[in-house]
C-alpha cells in the first residue's frame, strides 16, 4: 500500500462519479455521482494525510470534508423535494431553468 496506489484508486472513483454526475438525468442519481466524487476526495485526503503529514491538521480537514458531504446530501434532498412538488419533475432535463 503506497500513496500512489491510494491516489490511483481515488482517481478511478472520482472518474466514475464524474461520469454519473454528467450523464444521469434523475436528480437523485446526479447526487449519487457527486457523492462518489466527494468519497474519492475523502480517500485521497486520507492517503495524503497518512503518507505525507500525519498531523492533526489533516485529520480536522477530513472532518470538514465529511461535513460538506452531509450538507450536500441534505440540501440535495431538499431541492429534489421542491422540484418534485413544484413541477412534478425528477429529472434534470425538466429543470433547465430556475423560474417556474
Task: Answer yes or no whether residue 41 interacts with another protein by CB under 8 A.
Answer: no
Task: Answer yes or no whether residue 98 interacts with another protein by CB under 8 A.
Answer: no
Task: Answer yes or no whether residue 73 interacts with another protein by CB under 8 A.
Answer: yes
Helix (H) or strand (E) holding 83: helix 56-87
Task: Answer yes or no whether residue 17 interacts with another protein by CB under 8 A.
Answer: yes
Task: Answer yes or no whether residue 33 interacts with another protein by CB under 8 A.
Answer: yes
Cell numbers describing residue 30: 446526479
- CA atoms lying within 13 Å on the CB side of residue 7: 8
Q: Looking at residues 53 to 72 of the shown chain, list those that interact with another protein (rule: CB under 8 A).
A: 53-57, 59-60, 62-64, 66-67, 69-71
Q: Give me the phi and psi of 53, to 5 degrees please.
A: -150, 85
Amino acid at each position: 500500500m503506497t500513496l500512489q496506489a491510494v491516489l490511483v484508486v481515488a482517481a478511478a472513483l472520482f472518474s466514475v462519479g464524474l461520469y454519473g454526475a454528467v450523464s444521469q438525468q434523475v436528480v437523485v442519481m446526479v447526487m449519487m455521482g457527486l457523492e462518489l466524487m466527494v468519497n474519492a476526495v475523502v480517500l485521497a485526503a486520507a492517503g495524503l494525510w497518512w503518507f505525507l503529514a500525519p498531523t492533526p491538521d489533516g485529520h480536522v480537514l477530513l472532518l470538514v470534508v465529511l461535513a460538506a458531504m452531509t450538507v450536500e446530501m441534505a440540501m440535495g434532498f431538499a431541492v429534489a423535494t421542491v422540484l418534485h412538488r413544484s413541477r412534478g419533475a425528477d429529472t434534470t432535463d425538466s429543470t433547465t431553468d430556475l423560474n417556474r
